[in-house]
Structure 1
Amino acid sequence: MQLSYWEIKNWFTNVDFTIVGSGIVGLHCSLQLRERFPDSKIIILEKGILPQGASTKNAGFACLGSLSEIIDDLKSHSEEEVIQLVQKRWNGLQLLRKRLGDTTIDFKPYGGYELFLKDDEVTYNECLQKLPFLNEILRPLFKADIFSKEIDRFAFENIKEYTIFNPFEAQIDTGNMMQALLREAISKDILILNQAEVTSFTDVSNSVQLVANGYTFSTNKLLFATNGFAGALTNNAVKPARAQVLITEPIPNLDIKGTFHLDKGYYYFRNFEDRILLGGGRNLDFEGETTTELSQTEKIQNKLEDLLKNVILPNHEFKVAHRWSGIMGIGSHKNPIVTKLSENVYCGVRLGGMGVAIGSLIGKELADLI
């Protein structure tokens, strides 16, 4: 990449902070840095035309984790760790709402529901049995019961009689959220460079030598906010996890409002206006979905359409309008990785599919490491 003198002078000279990744974490990190260091020079490098991971590709769930997910987490995490995870999600959502406003992100507090398929007897019974216990340990956070048992009122089919309702969950407009964050970053004199891919870096005594698109420049501090793409450059325990999604054409007289989870959260759907947005199916092929390829597979897309036809919209005609994929960052532990990698290099990654809920908080925590 050949640059002019003007480009070098204005964009790549005297750089204080370089953030890799212009998603939820990277943008919140940049805004927090601007508050703390008002006269600093901040640039964000993004390898895609738009944020490449999941920030512009997620389903817009302002969620805290379904009952079955939290029960699963208790099998590999301590009770205290699980409570802290839910607390982080809640705090992150409040930070997002405070920064952008509910009107801007089209925040709709319809609540969240967990459904159980007819043959999922084990998970269903376990959730009903442990519901009081989960309410008890989470009550100090919410000052109320977070989960309740309700009869399905949406005319779904092939599911158990009861659903689990969470009144604290909501849905947002992902596109509106990201546009608002980008606008705010630009208004605060934060430089965002798209199609700029970082290939290597070297931490020297008081700065970092960074190579992007073949051009080398110096930055005082380097911060990675690349989530599912973090493994190669940061050597962290982060694996990519592809999430395949579809959205229907408008459906007349659609009476479904809320965010919904199925099969321990491996499937999720919501209404967007009078459409159904549905994603998931990674559990059908864990190995194949451990990828950064933004594509779809017939196996998973067929399963999503089967759920639409036989569970979600059994009494409606529907057509799929669009399909896409996003890349999450996961690992053996649900806690995000927010850490100092070397003297001048930091990262905030592994959001575990909860980027909308915790991305703003992780961005703030990442900036506060400086």
Structure 2
Amino acid sequence: MNLSYWEIKTWLTNIDYTIVGSGIVGLNCALQLKEKYPKANILILEKGFLPQGASTKNAGFACFGSLSEILSDLKQHSQDEVLELIKQRQEGLKRLRETLGDIKIDYKALGGYELFSEKDNALFQDCLSKREEVNQLLKPLFKADVFSLKPNTFQFKNIKENYIFNKFEGQIDTGKMMEALLEKVQAKGIKILNNITVDSFLDNKSSVDVKTNQFEFTTSKLLIATNGFASQLIKETVKPARAQVLITKPIKNLHIKGTFHLDEGYYYFRNIDNRILFGGGRNLDFKTEETTQLSQTDLIQNKLEEILKTTILPNTPFQIEHRWSGIMGVGSQKKPIVKQLSNNVFCGVRLGGMGVAIGSTIGKQLADITCN
């Protein structure tokens, strides 16, 4: 271990709660625990030098699901289950904005648009025919119609002449959000240790023995908030899902403003700092993208560039400045897993690509079940 007396005494002794993962869930969980127990000694362990999974790597969509995604969910879940999912996302976004403030996270209510390719006749007609039905389903939550039709004012090519518009969708600056969360957590005296990987743990009923790549220690409670990486530590049904992203160099007089979904949400793009951020494409090769490797593939990156050229920016020259990947946690069910695993071990994982929307809520739920 090669740790000094001071290191052990200050950082690794008398720990009440240890949270694995310093993403949106882990940080919000820590804040909630500190609110309940101001004198609690809380430690957060993070495997990366920054939050490693998706919290600092997502597209910054403040969304709760496109119309086609909601219709797809209704085929797999009951109406009540889908409504509960959307309510959780709505409340999570509200909680995130209230916790940090719109200015801190650069929240912009520019609305969200779902685009349909010219070949997507069946999907487009299905969405049109069921739009009012979904609006009625969501009215108790939003007190207004959510989905409306808008013409192709952004002059995208090879898509239907109308978008489906969601006035309740917005966008945030992911980096500013996480910076603000980290500042808030550290200001409360909560400790964060980076570049620490939890290798294993043992719940001995009175406490939990934790073994990391750097040291071993004991904590009263252990909370797993690693989402897409959860299967490396626990046996819950959550799979990693890689999301590949690229961003252009600044584009002069960029007229595209908002968040955009294409192909049932498998592709998504937005404006940010006069650039287009564009991600998705894991439906091209689901099996390969079921990975925790933070890398890119030619198959998906080439497809993203192709869609940029032919659909999003057909008459605008652009250059790609940067590419990256994030790791989501998904499963056959959209419902997140928040549960007690043993006497002193708990988890809040499987956010299904909705970390920005539900991370704050799942963090609170994780803290709540730990305290019961």
SS in 1 for 2:369: coil
2-side partners of 1:32 and 1:61: how far apart? 24
- Alpha-carbon displacement from aligned partner over 1:325-361 (angstroms, at most 9, x marks no partner): 0000000000000000001000000000000000001
Aligned counterparts, 1:1-370, within 5 A: 1-370=1-370
1-side partners of 2:135 and 2:147: how far apart? 6
Q: Which amino acid aligns with 1:221?
A: K
Shift of 1:2: 1.6
Count residues in correspondence: 370
- Alpha-carbon displacement from aligned partner over 1:189-239 (angstroms, at most 9, x marks no partner): 000000010000000121100111252211000000000000121111000
- Alpha-carbon displacement from aligned partner over 1:251-305 (angstroms, at most 9, x marks no partner): 1111010000000000000000210000000000000000000000001000000
Which segment is superposed worse, 208-217 or 319-328?
208-217
Q: Structure 2: give runs of 5+ residues left out of the alignment.
A: none
CA RMSD in angstroms comes to: 0.6
Q: Which amino acid aligns with 1:282?
A: R
SS in 2 for 1:137: helix
SS in 2 for 1:307: helix
1-side partners of 2:6 and 2:78: how far apart? 54
1-side partners of 2:87 and 2:113: how far apart? 19
Shift of 1:121: 1.2
SS in 2 for 1:234: coil
TM-score (norm 2): 0.99
Which segment is superposed worse, 282-291 or 206-215?
206-215
1-side partners of 2:338 and 2:364: how far apart? 10
2-side partners of 1:48 and 1:14: how far apart? 24
Decide whether the 8 Å contact of 2:196 with 2:214 is kept in 1: no
Q: Which amino acid aligns with 1:128?
A: L
SS in 2 for 1:311: helix
SS in 1 for 2:251: coil
2-side partners of 1:185 and 1:264: how far apart? 36
Decide whether the 8 Å contact of 2:25 with 2:363 is kept in 1: yes
1-side partners of 2:290 and 2:2: how far apart? 36
SS in 2 for 1:139: helix
1-side partners of 2:57 and 2:148: how far apart? 30
Which segment is superposed worse, 285-294 or 148-157?
148-157
2-side partners of 1:283 and 1:2: how far apart? 46
SS in 2 for 1:135: helix
Q: Which amino acid aligns with 1:33?
A: L
- Alpha-carbon displacement from aligned partner over 1:60-112 (angstroms, at most 9, x marks no partner): 00001000000000010000000000000000000000000000000000000
2-side partners of 1:216 and 1:308: how far apart? 49
2-side partners of 1:205 and 1:145: how far apart? 51
Shift of 1:58: 0.2
Shift of 1:156: 0.4
2-side partners of 1:262 and 1:38: how far apart? 45
- Alpha-carbon displacement from aligned partner over 1:135-193 (angstroms, at most 9, x marks no partner): 01000000000100111110100001111000000000000000000011110000000
Q: Which amino acid aligns with 2:159?
A: I
2-side partners of 1:71 and 1:15: how far apart? 45
1-side partners of 2:98 and 2:85: how far apart? 20
TM-score (norm 1): 0.99
SS in 2 for 1:322: strand
- Alpha-carbon displacement from aligned partner over 1:30-80 (angstroms, at most 9, x marks no partner): 000000010010000000111010000000000010000000000100000
1-side partners of 2:135 and 2:2: how far apart? 59
1-side partners of 2:267 and 2:192: how far apart? 34
Decide whether the 8 Å contact of 2:247 with 2:277 is kept in 1: yes
Which segment is superposed worse, 172-181 or 120-129?
120-129
Q: Which amino acid aligns with 2:210?
A: L
2-side partners of 1:93 and 1:359: how far apart? 9
